[in-house]
């Protein structure tokens, strides 16, 4: 039986951090065996939050190096830029006719973006974000999309657009699947200050951080504020460093919990243990990263190759769309 198709994408914002890894990338590396995976670089979507394009290319390369270093295998799962497959914009135009402005204005993530990013003048592109996302998925006839819970409303819009197109133009046989959202299981990894890990908050640990950088960053991480001296009893359940241990040091978790509570373990020692485990985890990623950094031609050819594969599929889908619509 043919494998189901899965579409995953990220906006190219440069080097990735552990929050990106735990929230998405780790899952993608697992899914690439089970599904026929496609990895999209959303270099048009990124314009909704930053109109400056000077860094998009470099940010794309940095992000793709992190994808590869983290274990994405491009021969199994093509990596490609949204902007280089012109069918994305073509289908976007057609899909824009199939959904009302009122429906897009009801999209809860739009309201959140307006609030979080303090957007005063909403653009047509912002409103149409989920329409372009529907194109990213349906152009490749994705069956499944890995998402956080907050992205489920976008999948619902994709399903509605697919249904609308099928009902309107495909009386004989529908051409678009109605994709399912696959929720990413692991909770978000917080940043060094306890907030959401984000570059804009300056609280990240990058996948490319060398051991001395990680050690230094961890030393400043927030812990239980009531544990001031080494012998004070601590509360691991509210401690950020303990959350990191859960992910990167599960073998010692029980011992750390007991010794933190009893006061036998101090935060300095606990952080040293944590950064050692984190560095152990990051070591192979950093090693692979260096290999790609030293061979940028290889990275570019991986992207070009992925774009050829993606384009071939996109062209077939657009041909079908034109036939169904009796256009061209």
Angstrom distance (rounded) from CA 159 to CA 36: 20
Site for ligand SF4 in 33-92 (CB under 6 A): none
Q: Cβ closer to ligand SF4: 167 or 262?
A: 262
x-or-dash pattern for ligand SF4, window 90-109, by CB under 6 A? --------------------
Written as one string, the DSSP assignment of 279-307 is HHHHHHHHHHHHHHHT-HHHHHHHHHHHH
Instruction: Determine if 236 is a binding residue for ligand SF4 (CB under 6 A).
Output: yes
139 binding ligand SF4? (CB under 6 A): no
Chain positions 268 to 297 lying near ligand SF4, rule: CB under 6 A, are 270-271
- Distance CA(264)–CA(96), nearest Å, equals 62
Decide: is 260 part of the binding site for ligand SF4 (CB under 6 A). Answer: yes
Contacting residue, 68, 214, 267, 314, with ligand SF4 by CB under 6 A = 267
Q: Choose between 222 and 313: whose C-beta lies nearer to ligand SF4.
A: 222
CB of 236 to ligand SF4, least distance (A): 4
Element (H, E) at 10: strand 5-10
Tell the smallest beta-carbon distance from residue 118 to ligand SF4 (Å).
34
User: Does the protein bind ligand SF4 through residue 133 (CB under 6 A)?
Assistant: no
First CA to last CA across the chain, in angstroms? 34
Give how many residues touch ligand SF4 by CB under 6 A: 14
Please state, in angstroms and rounded to a whole number, the distance separating the CA atoms of residues 177 and 306: 23
Q: 8 or 275: whose CB is closer to ligand SF4? A: 275
Contact with ligand SF4 (CB under 6 A) among 134, 265, 302, 314: 265
User: Could you tell me the CA-to-CA distances from 134 to 31, 91, 165, 207, 240 in Å, in that order?
Assistant: 20, 9, 12, 30, 36
Q: Which of 239, 285, 318, 321 contacts ligand SF4 by CB under 6 A?
A: 239
Identified binder of ligand SF4 from the candidate list 242, 244, 248, 292, rule CB under 6 A: 242
Strand partners, 8: 39
Among 26, 62, 136, 224, binds ligand SF4 (CB under 6 A): 224
Name the one range near ligand SF4 by CB under 6 A: 16-24, 87-95, 126-134, 262-270: 262-270
Smallest distance from ligand SF4 to CB 235, Å: 7
Q: Which residues contact 240 (CB under 8 A, 6 or more apart)?
A: 190, 192, 194, 221, 222, 223
Question: How far apart are alpha carbons 266 and 256 in whole angstroms?
Answer: 10
Which residues 6+ apart lie within 8 Å of 188 measured at CB? 19, 22, 23, 196, 197
Query: Considering only residues 81, 227, 247, 277, which one is a binding residue for ligand SF4 as defined by CB under 6 A?
Result: 227
Q: Using CB under 6 A, which residues numbered 164 to 223 contact ligand SF4?
A: 223
Distance CA 81, CA 12 (A): 10
Full DSSP string of 62-90: HHHHHHHHHT--TTTS-EEEGGG-THHHH
Q: Which residues bind ligand SF4 (CB under 6 A)?
A: 223-224, 227, 234, 236, 239, 241-242, 256, 260, 265, 267, 270-271
């Amino acid at each position: 039986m043919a494998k189901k198709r899965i579409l995953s994408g990220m906006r190219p914002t440069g080097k990735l951090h552990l929050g990106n890894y735990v929230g998405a990338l780790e899952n993608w590396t697992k899914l690439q065996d089970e599904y026929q995976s496609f990895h999209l670089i959303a270099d048009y979507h990124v314009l909704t939050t930053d109109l400056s394009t000077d860094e998009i290319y470099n940010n794309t390369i940095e992000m793709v190096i992190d994808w590869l270093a983290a274990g994405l295998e491009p021969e199994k799962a093509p990596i490609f830029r949204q902007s280089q497959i012109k069918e994305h914009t073509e289908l976007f135009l057609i899909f824009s006719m199939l959904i009302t402005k009122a429906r897009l204005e009801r999209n809860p993530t739009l309201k959140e973006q307006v609030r979080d990013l303090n957007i005063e003048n909403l653009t047509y592109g912002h409103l149409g974000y989920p329409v372009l996302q529907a194109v990213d998925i349906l152009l490749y006839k994705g069956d499944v999309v890995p998402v956080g819970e907050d992205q489920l409303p976008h999948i619902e819009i994709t399903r509605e657009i697919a249904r609308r197109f099928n009902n309107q133009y495909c009386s004989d046989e529908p051409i678009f699947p109605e994709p399912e959202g696959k929720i990413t299981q692991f909770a978000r990894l917080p940043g060094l200050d306890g907030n959401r890990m984000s570059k804009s908050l300056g609280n990240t640990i990058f996948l490319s951080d060398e051991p001395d950088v990680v050690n230094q960053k961890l030393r400043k991480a927030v812990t239980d504020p009531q544990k001031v001296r080494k012998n004070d009893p601590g509360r691991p359940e509210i401690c950020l460093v303990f959350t990191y241990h859960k992910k990167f040091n599960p073998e010692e978790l029980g011992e750390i919990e007991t010794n933190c509570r009893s006061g036998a373990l101090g935060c300095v020692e606990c952080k040293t243990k944590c950064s050692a485990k984190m560095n152990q985890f990051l070591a192979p990623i950093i090693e692979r990263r260096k290999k790609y950094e030293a061979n940028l031609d290889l990275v570019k050819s991986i992207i070009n190759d992925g774009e050829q594969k993606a384009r071939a599929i996109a062209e077939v889908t657009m041909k079908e769309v034109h036939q169904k619509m009796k256009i061209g």
